[in-house]
A and B are shown apart, each in its own frame.
Chain A
Amino acid sequence: MNLKLKVWRQKSATAEGRLAEYEARNIPPDASFLEMLDILNEELLAKGDEPIAFDHDCREGICGSCSLTINGIPHGPVNLSATTTCQLYMRKFTDGQTIYIEPFRARSFPIVRDLIVDRSALDRIQRSGGYVTARAGSAPDGNAILIPKTEADSAMEAAACIGCGACVASCPNASAMLFVGAKVSHLNRLPQGQPERHQRTLNMVKKMDEEGFGNCSNHYECEAVCPAEIPVTVITQLNRDYAAASVSKAVS
C-alpha cells in the first residue's frame, strides 16, 4: 500500500507546530498503524531526518500509551469499535488514501513533542481519590465479603478503562467525565468502596475541574471512541453520586 500522510510535527511544548507531508510506500496491509510509522521512521532516520515521536508501549491495546488522532478521530476510524491505535491494522485503509495524524488534543494535554502529549492530569485526578484505603496486611479473607456476580461484573466493566484519554480528545468540551466516571463507578459499585464513596466522588470531580477539563454536554463522542467500551452510564452514575455526596456534605 502507498499512503499520503500529513503528520503533526512540533519540536517541543513551546515550539510552533505544523502538519508535515510524508509518503509511506510499500506498506504491508497486515502491518499495524504503528508499524507503518516504524517503517516511515526508519526511512527518515536513513535520510538523517528526525523520526516522528509518538507514545506507544505494549502494542496490544492495554497499556493506554498510544494516543493518535487519525483523520480527526482519536484511535482512528470509529466504525471499528473498541480499538486502540496500536490495534489498528493497515488493511482497514485503502491504497492511495491520505491520512491525517495528530496528537490527542485538549487544553489539559499539553504537547510534549510531535504526537506525544502530557496526560499527567489524569494521574493527578486518580491521586485525589481513585483508591480504597487498604493497608497491605490488614485485609480480611477474600471471600469474607460476598459480591454478587452482577455487581462484580458491572464494577469490572467500569474498571476496564485503560487511561488513554481518547474520551477527552474526542469531546468538544475536552471533558474527562467518562474517565472519572469509570473510576468512581468501579469503586462505588463495590462494597469495598463504600466507606470513602462520597469523599472520593467530591475530590475527583474537584480535581477534574481544577485541571481544566470541561463538562459533559451529552455528545457521547467519548463512548464512541473508547477502546475499553466504557459506557456513558458511568457518567450518569458520576452525576448521581456527586449529587448524593454534595447533599450528604451539606447536611452533615
Chain B
Amino acid sequence: MSALDSKIPSGPLDTKWERFKFESKLINPSNKRKYEVIVVGSGLAGASAAATLGELGFSVKCFCYQDSPRRAHSIAAQGGINAAKNYQNDGDSVQRLFYDTIKGGDFRSREANVHRLAEVSANIIDQCVAQGVPFAREYGGMLANRSFGGAQVSRTFYARGQTGQQLLLGAYSGLNRQIAAGTVKMFPRTEMLDLVLIDGHAKGIVTRDLSTGKIQSYAADCVILATGGYGNVFYLSTNAKGCNVTATYRAHKKGAFFANPCFTQIHPTCIPVSGDYQSKLTLMSESLRNDGRVWAPKKKGDKRPPQQIPEDERDYFLERKYPSYGNLAPRDISSRSAKEACDEGRGVGESGLGVYLDFADSIKRLSENVVRERYGNLFEMYEQITGEDAYKSPMRIFPAVHYTMGGLWVDYNLMSNLPGLFVLGEANFSDHGANRLGASALMQGLADGYFVIPYTIGNYLAPQLGKRPSTDHPEFKKAEQETRDRINRFLSIKGRRSADSFHRELGLLMWDLCGMARSEKSLQRALNRIPTLRQEFWENLSVTGGNEELNQALEKAGRVADFLEFGELTCLDALERRESCGGHFREEYQTPDGEALRDDEHFAHVAAWEFNGIDKAPTRHAEQLNYESVHLSTRSYK
C-alpha cells in the first residue's frame, strides 16, 4: 500500500492546483538548457509537452514511430474537445465539468486530478485559438459549441469532424517552431524499445531506428512517455495500426506500476465488422448522436429493410431506457445497450451484430442540407466503407474498442512510481476513471502537455542538476544488449506463423472473454489460454528479413510479444475487480435491470500492478480514492 503516494496537495479541492503551483520548485532560466528531457510520442500530449518544455528552455528530444510527428493517432479524433467556458450560458462551470467527469468515470478517478483538468480546460481553448486552430464559429464570430454524451450542457468545441487533426496540427506547429529554434530535436521513425533506470531513476531509453535497424541509447535527466493507449490488445479497434503498448509495457517491466488495465472503453458508434480480413474498425463520431436516433427492431430476427419496419415495431432503446439523456447516454451504457439488443437476437445487418443510427427524423426536422453541413464528411466516410447512403437508409453501427482509461500509474505530478518517469495523455491512468466522456481525451492530452507538466516537472528536476549519466553507463549497455538479444530471438525462431496471425487470435480471445461483458469464468478461460498462445508465439513465429533494414514484420513481432504479456495482465485486473463500473462490466455484478453494480466498500480504489517476472503473479497495490467533494452515488442517466 505504502508504495503509492499520490502526492495530492492538501487543502480545499478548488485551491489545490493554485497552491501546488506556488509551492512547486522553479528552475533558473539559465539552468533549464542544462537539462535534457526525453519525450516519447508526438500526439497531443507528447507534442504539446515537447513544444512547451522546449519553449521554456529545456533541451528536448522527441521520438515517434511514424514518419512525421503530425501523424500520431490523436489526429483521428473527430468530435471535439470539452472546456468549461460556459459560452452558451447554459449552466456550465469548472465544478460541473469536474462533476460530469467524475460521474462519467463512475467514481473511479482521483478528485484532485480531475478538478485540475477542469480548471485548465478553458486555457486550452485559448491556447489553440491563438495558434490558429480554426474552430467552428457562429455568424457573429464567436466560438461554436455542440453537445456530447454524458453532459447536459453544450461545452464541446470542434473543427468540422476533424477536431483531433486540427488540435494536433496546432501542437505540431508549436513543436515545429521549437525544432526550428533548436530546443527540440525530433526523431521520427524511431521506436522506443526499453527504458533505462540508473539507481532507480528513469534516465534514458533504448531505441531502434525503423529505417536502418540501428539500436541506440539516449540519456536524459527525465523521461516522459506520451505513447497513447493499448486498445490494440484487442487487435480490432479504432486505434491506428501502429498503436501499441510497448513503451509503457517495457517501463512496467522495469518497475512502473500499471493501473486499472481492465478499464477499456468500447465506443458505441463504429461501423460493424464485415469480414475476417478486416484490419481495423472505423469510428463514427459520437456527435452523430446529437441528431441520430439509435434503434433496433422489436422483433427477434427481423430481416426487413429498415424503411419497411413501422415506427411501432422499432425499439429506440436508449430513449426508452434513459429518457433524460436519451441518445446522449455515456459510451459504456450505450455500448452495453446495443450489445443487449444484439444478444437478444434483435441485431441488424448480415452478421446480426449491429443496430441502426437513424437520421430520418432529423432530415425531416432540419432538412438534408443542414444534416449534410453538420456531418457531411462522416456520411461520406460511411459510404466509402460500406457502399451505403446514410441519407437514404440508417447507418448500421456496433460498439468497438476505442480508448483505454487504464495506463501507467502516476501521482499528482504525473510522475510514475519510478522517479524521473512521467506519463501523459492516454498512456497514464489518471483522469477518466472507469469510463471517459466524449471529447475529454483531447482535453486531457493537451492539459497534460501544455499546462500540467511544465509546472510539475520542476519538482523532480530541480535537485537533479548535473546528475545525468552518459550512455556509456553499464546500464545502457546492458539494456542495448537485451534489446539486440530479443530481436535476434524473433529472427531466429523461423516458425510458420506471422505476428499478425497471433495478434488476431489474441484480439479475438480478448474481445470474446474480456470485452464488453466479463465474468469470472470467461476471464479464467482467457488466463488459461493466453500463456499457451504466448508459448506458441515464441516457438512458431515467422519473421523474414533481418534487423539492419526497414522490417515491418520485425516491428510487429516486438509489439505483439508485449501484447501477449499485457493481455494477461488486463484479464487478471478484470478478474480481481469484483464489481462492475464504467467500461468494466462483470456479469456477476449487475442490478436487476442490468445496470453496472459498483462495490464502493471494496473497490473504490485504483489497482496498480507491479511486475514480478513473466509467469510469476504480479503484485496488486491499491490506492484508495478519497472523495471529499463529491458524494458517491449510483450513476443514473435515466
Contact = CB atoms under 8 A, between A and B. Distances in A.
Interface of A: 11-12, 28, 30-32, 34-35, 38-39, 42, 45-46, 48-51, 53, 55-65, 80, 82-83, 87, 89, 91, 112-113, 116, 118-120, 122-123, 126-128, 130-143, 145-149, 152-153, 155-156, 159-160, 162-163, 186-187, 190, 192-193
A148 B141 contact: yes
Contacts of B177: 127, 131, 133
B274 interface: yes
Contact of B241 (A57, A133, A137, A190): A57
B242 interface: yes
Given A131-B173, A149-B139, A192 B553 contact: no
B625 interface: no
Contacts of A80: 384
Interface in B128-144: 128-132, 134-143
Given A51-B552, A123-B70, A142-B125, A57 B130 contact: no
Contacts of B274: 30
A132 B134 contact: no
B545 interface: yes
B56 to A, nearest CB: 9
Contact of B71 (A57, A112, A187, A190): A57
Given A113-B550, A142-B143, A155-B134, A127 B71 contact: no
A136 B277 contact: no
Given A46-B496, A120-B188, A132 B132 contact: yes
B549 A39 contact: no
A65 B71 CA distance: 7
B555 to A, nearest CB: 10
B384 A87 contact: yes
Contact of B544 (A35, A45, A163): A45
A60 B454 contact: no
8 contacts: A57-B66, A64-B71, A127-B180, A139-B126, A142-B85, A152-B136, A156-B136, A190-B132
Contacts of A58: 71, 73, 75-76, 240-241
A91 B387 CA distance: 9
Nearest to B212: A12
A145 B128 CA distance: 13
A147 B141 contact: yes
B368 interface: no
Contact of A142 (B126, B238, B544): B126
A146 B131 CA distance: 15
Interface string B530-548: 0000000000001011000
Contact of B55 (A82, A89, A136, A142): A136
A226 to B, nearest CB: 14
Nearest to B180: A127
Contacts of A89: 384-385, 387
B624 interface: no
B623 to A, nearest CB: 30
3 tightest Cβ-Cβ pairs between the two chains A and B? A146-B141, A131-B173, A139-B130
A134 to B, nearest CB: 4
A191 B501 CA distance: 52
B63 to A, nearest CB: 15
Contact of B180 (A39, A128, A163): A128
Interface stretch (B159-167, B564-572, B591-599): B159-167
Interface stretch (B196-204, B278-286, B414-422): B278-286
A118 B550 CA distance: 12
B67 interface: yes
B450 interface: yes
Contacts of A116: 67, 550
A45 B498 contact: yes
A193 B170 CA distance: 13
B52 interface: yes
A180 to B, nearest CB: 14
B381 interface: yes
B70 A132 contact: no
B127 interface: yes
Given A46-B542, A136-B51, A160-B160, 12 more contacts: A60-B238, A62-B162, A87-B381, A89-B387, A123-B186, A130-B176, A131-B174, A132-B131, A134-B131, A135-B55, A149-B139, A159-B159
A227 to B, nearest CB: 11
Contacts of A64: 68, 70-71
Contact of A149 (B55, B125, B138, B176): B138
Contact of A65 (B66, B130, B450): B66
B542 A45 contact: yes
A124 B609 CA distance: 42
Contacts of B71: 57-58, 63-65, 163
B67 A192 contact: no
Contacts of A140: 126, 130
A111 B55 CA distance: 34
Interface in B177-210: 177, 179-180, 186, 188
B240 A57 contact: yes
Contacts of A60: 76, 238, 280, 282-283, 381
Contacts of B159: 156, 159
Contacts of B552: 51, 53
B627 interface: no
Interface string B46-73: 0010011001000000000011111111
Contacts of B140: 146
Nearest to B542: A45
A35 B282 CA distance: 14
Contacts of A187: 132
B294 to A, nearest CB: 22
